[in-house]
Structures are given as structure tokens and as C-alpha cells.
Structure 1
Amino acid sequence: MTDLVSPFTVRVRGEIDLDTAPALRCELERALAEHHVVVLDLSQVTFMDCAGLGALVQARNQADHSGRRLVLHGTGRPVARLLKLTGLTRRLAPAPGPATGRAPSTPYTGGR
């Protein structure tokens, strides 16, 4: 049985780009379909382009439309810069402080 109350963490490492964004998109779709709160840990992301940004926006839209919650965590310099440049900082604002507890998680390695 899937726990719909506890947050579920998706941890991303490496680059999120045209090659790796589709897999991240699928992982986020699945996580948001199964869990009410999904924490997206981006602390180990070294690069993100517009394809990665598109995956985040799609996940945020899915969460909003389904009454779920997507929480960004650990937006390092590459991600924070892209959010600021595109004006999406507010829409995809990361949660303040550390990720929520010791949530179940799935690693997602962006590649490269």
C-alpha cells in the first residue's frame, strides 16, 4: 500500500537537460500520482537547461491540478540562476530549510 501522507523525496544528481529531462518528467509524474507530497531534492544538480525547467513546471502544474504538493529543496546555483532568469523563482520557490524529515526516496541520476 502506498503511503499518501508522508513526503516522498526524488533526489536528482548531475545534469538535467534535453537528454535527461524526459526521464525526470516521468519519475515526477509517477511520484505525484502516488504521493500527496513530493520533495524534489536538486542539491546535487550541476546544470539545468530549459528542458529541465519544463519538467519542473509540468510537475508543478500536475501537483496543482491534482491537489498534491511539489516542494523544491536544495536549489543550488545552477537551478536558482535559471529560475531567476526566467522569472519562475516565485512559481517554483524552494522550501526554506532542510528537506522534510527522513522521507522515502528514489534517486534519479540525470546523467553525465
Structure 2
Amino acid sequence: MLVEIDGVLDYETEGRLRGALDGVAAKPGRRFLLDLSRVGFLDSGGIGALLAIRRGLLSRGAEFAVTEVSPMVARLLRMTGLDEVLLPGTGC
């Protein structure tokens, strides 16, 4: 499943993302990808949401990764070391 996010992913919007993905059935072996290519801003609230979503999906046997990140998001993920956790092929 591919979910595309557009705009801002921060403490004000992360609840909507989490709520939207709460209803998605996570089955073992199913892969969820978040396309962040059009996310212009990401803060600690957004990062927390990504990690919480990942944790929930992994606990149900599904896979999770972030893909197609914008330059700003890529830089932030590299700076925090989360590129190794969230990006495909680097620890997803």
C-alpha cells in the first residue's frame, strides 16, 4: 500500500496521519510505503508519528518504509540517523 503525503507533517497534522492509517488492516507480509516527496516540512511530532506508525505495523507483522523523500526530509532523516530505520533497504 502506498500513501502519499502532501504539505506539512508536524505536531498539528500527525494525528490525522495516524488516524488515517489506524483503520488499515495490517497483515503479516503486507508492505506500507509513505511517499514524502511533497512534504515541505517535518518536525519532531511528524517524526514521532512515523516511528509510532512503523512500530504498530511491525508489531502486526507488516513492513513499513518511507520512500521518495523531499530534500528537506532526507536531510533531517540523515541528521537524526533515522534514514537507516525508515528508508527502504537500510533497516526497514
Equivalent-residue separation in structure 2 for 1:80 and 1:94 (angstroms) = 13
Tell me which residue corresponds to 1:54: 48
Offset at residue 94 of structure 1 (A): 3.7
- Higher RCO (C-alpha under 8 Å, 6+ residues apart): 1
Tell me which residue corresponds to 2:59: 65
Superposition pairs for residues 23-38 of structure 1, below 5 Å?
Answer: 23-31=16-24, 33-34=25-26, 36-38=30-32
1:10 aligns to 2:3 (yes or no):
yes
- Which one has the bigger helix percentage? 2
TM-score normalised by the chain length of structure 2: 0.83
Matched positions, count: 88
Q: Pick the aligned partner of 1:21 from 14, 17, 21.
A: 14
Offset at residue 28 of structure 1 (A): 2.6
User: Which ranges in structure 1 are unaligned for 5 or more consecutive residues?
Assistant: 1-7, 96-112
For each residue in 1:55-100, what CA deviation from the matched residue of structure 2 results, as whole angstroms up to 9, or x when unmatched? Answer: 11011111211100112111111211111121111011146xxxxx
Residue identity over aligned pairs, in percent, reads 36
Report which of the two structures shows the higher radius of gyration computed on alpha carbons. 1
Question: Partner amino acid for 1:54?
Answer: G
**Alignment RMSD (CA, Å):** 1.9
